[in-house]
Amino acid sequence: MSLKIAPSILAGDLGNLRREVERIEDNADIIHLDVMDGNFAPNITFGPGTIKALRKYSKLPFDAHLMISEPLRYLDRFIDAGCDIISVHAEVCTDKTFDDVMNRLNKDGVKAGIAINPDTEIPDWVISRLNSIYLINVMSVQPGFSGQKFMPEVLLKMAKVDQIIHDKGVDTVIEADGGVDTSNVYELVRAGARILVAGNAVCGQPDAKKAIRELKEKALPAIKEV
C-alpha cells in the first residue's frame, strides 16, 4: 500500500479538537485517536463520546488506538462512535480475548489492529492471525504522552515484523507510532512502516498541512527504493 500519514490529535489543542480535525482534514490520510484509561497507560485522554462528537467534522478514516486495560468491555461504544480501525494492545489480550475482539469488529466491518509496546515482541498468537489483522502498531515510545523521544531500537523489530508479513504473504500494514518526525520517517518506511502516526510533528506544529507535506517528502523516497 502507499504511504499514509495519520496525525494524532492528542498533540493538538485539547480545548478545541474540532479545529484540530479540521486543520488536518485536507492533507492527512487517517486521523489517529489515542485513547488512554489511566490504567494501562499513565494518562487519561478521551473516550468514545468525544470521538462520536468529532465524527461529523471529518470524512477521513478514524483510527482508534486503545491504550486501555479492558478493550472488550468498551468495544461496542467505540464502534458506535464511528471508528473505522480499532487497535487493542497485545499486552492486555490473550489469543482468546483477541478472537473475541476481532469477531466483534468483523460484525460491523471495522478493521482490527494490534499494538505492541516498544519492549514487546510480536506474540505467536498474533503471527498466526495476521491474515485477519489490518494493522500492527509497532510503538516507538511507551504509551502515555505525545512528544516523547523516538526509540530507534524499535526499527530492528519493525523490520522483523515486516519480514514475517512478507513471508506469510498477508496484507497487514505496519503503523509506526511514537516520536515520528522528519528525522526518522525515511528509516521507518525502510523498515516497513506504511502508516506514520505523527502527534507533535503535525498537530504540535502551527502549520499542520505543511508538516504533513514535509513528512511525506522525506518518507516517500524510501518506498521508491524498495
Binding residues (CB under 6 A) for ligand DX5: these are 8, 10-11, 32, 34, 65, 67, 141, 143-144, 146-148, 177-180, 197-201
Lateral strand order in the sheet of 173-177? 4-7, 193-198, 173-177, 135-139, 111-116, 85-89, 62-67, 31-36
Q: Catalytic annotation on 34?
A: yes
β-pair partners for 88: 66, 114
**Chosen from Zn ion, ligand DX5, none, partner binding at 97 (C-beta under 5 to 8 Å by type):** none
Within 68-105, strands assigned E span 85-89
Q: Catalytic annotation on 177?
A: yes
d(CA 148, CA 180): 9
Position with the least CB separation from ligand DX5: 199
131 vs 194, which CB is nearer to Zn ion? 194
27 vs 148, which CB is nearer to ligand DX5? 148
Within the chain, strands assigned E span 4-7, 31-36, 62-67, 85-89, 111-116, 135-139, 173-177, 193-198
Choose, from 29, 34, 63, 162, the residue flagged as catalytic.
34
Choose, from 29, 162, 177, 181, the residue flagged as catalytic.
177
Binding site for Zn ion (CB under 5 A): 34, 65, 177
Question: Could you tell me the smallest distance in angstroms from the CB atom of residue 180 to ligand DX5?
Answer: 5
3-state secondary structure of 175: strand
**Chosen from Zn ion, ligand DX5, none, partner binding at 219 (C-beta under 5 to 8 Å by type):** none
Catalytic site positions: 34, 177
